Amino acid sequence: GAGVSQSPSNKVTEKGKDVELRCDPISGHTALYWYRQSLGQGLEFLIYFQGNSAPDKSGLPSDRFSAERTGGSVSTLTIQRTQQEDSAVYLCASSILQSPSSPLHFGNGTRLTVT
Amino acid sequence: GENVEQHPSTLSVQEGDSAVIKCTYSDSASNYFPWYKQELGKRPQLIIDIRSNVGEKKDQRIAVTLNKTAKHFSLHITETQPEDSAVYFCAAADSSYKLIFGSGTRLLVRP
């Protein structure tokens, strides 16, 4: 079946512009995560959606970052007034959460470059 | 919130040797500890995981150990092969399933 799909795969934007990154999780997966991976760095937690619960936004680095998940499926991560330090790969993952060991399924990521 | 530290950041071993990667976590409520492998240019993928009611788990050449008292867990790879070369991430989650990852270990297996 289809995996987690992210678009665009690459995005180059000018400093100060807004960008939207999209994630289509695996159908039926109730949990959706956004992580940021800077070059050669680890996976930085950004935000987590679980079913109909309020999202855990504790990892968002600033108020320029926001995310929503419509209808419990597709999610959009928005970065306003982009800065050069926002350049990174943004990874989305989803999980079925029916058991404690339900693995995260990652998308291929969106590589964001802010010039 | 949870904080996960991972060591070493890079590890180079000779093919056939063992590799050990260690992680510590801060939140005593965490009860799920997966390990992900990310090959160059690819997405992270789960390779093994352990829950807090288990001290050790093994899957062929890969094993994970957990010391809940000390709040640390380790990944052990035996008889390493060149295809084991990748970045490995540990992670910890509590009952909310929010996964916090370590900073990663770049493993290089020299043929």
pLDDT tens string B18-51 = 999 999 999 998 989 999 999 998 999 999 999 8
Interface A:B, Cβ pairs < 8 A: 56
Nearest to B80 by CA among B105, B99, B55, B104: B105
Q: Are B58 and B77 in contact (CB under 8 A)?
A: no
> What mean pLDDT do residues B12-19 have?
97
Q: Is it the case that residue B96 has pLDDT exceeding 90? A: no
pLDDT at A98: 57
Residue A88 is predicted with a pLDDT of: 96
Torsion of CA B31, A101, B104, B1, to 10 degrees: -40
The reported pLDDT for the residue numbered B61 is: 97
- Whether residue B66 contacts residue B50, with contact meaning beta carbons closer than 8 Å, is answered with yes
What pLDDT sits at residue B2? 87
Decide if A97 touches B, using CB distance below 8 A. Answer: yes
pLDDT of residue A42: 86
Confidence of residue A1 (pLDDT cuts 50, 70, 90): low
Q: In the prediction, which pLDDT does A103 show?
A: 85
Q: Confidence band (pLDDT; 50, 70, 90) for A51?
A: confident
Chain B residues at the A interface, defined by Cβ less than 8 Å, are 1, 6, 31-32, 34, 36, 42-46, 49, 51, 89, 91, 96-104
* Residue A99 pLDDT exceeds 80: no
For A9-13, A37-41, A71-75, which range has the lowest pLDDT when averaged over its residues? A37-41
Taking the Cβ of residue A56 and every Cβ of chain B, the question of whether any pair is shorter than 8 Å is answered with yes
Mean pLDDT, to the nearest integer, of B2-20?
96
Q: What rounded mean pLDDT belongs to chain B?
A: 93
Tell me the mean pLDDT in the region A18-26. Answer: 97
For the ranges A24-38, A77-91, B89-103, which has the lowest average pLDDT? B89-103
Contact call for residues B22 and B72 (beta carbons, < 8 A): yes
**Looking at beta carbons, which residues of chain B come within 8 Å of A44?**
101
Instruction: Give percent above pLDDT 90 in chain A.
Output: 74
Cis status of the peptide bond prior to A55, with omega within 30 of 0: no
Q: What's the pLDDT at B41?
A: 87
Task: Decide which of A41 and B31 is more confident.
Answer: B31
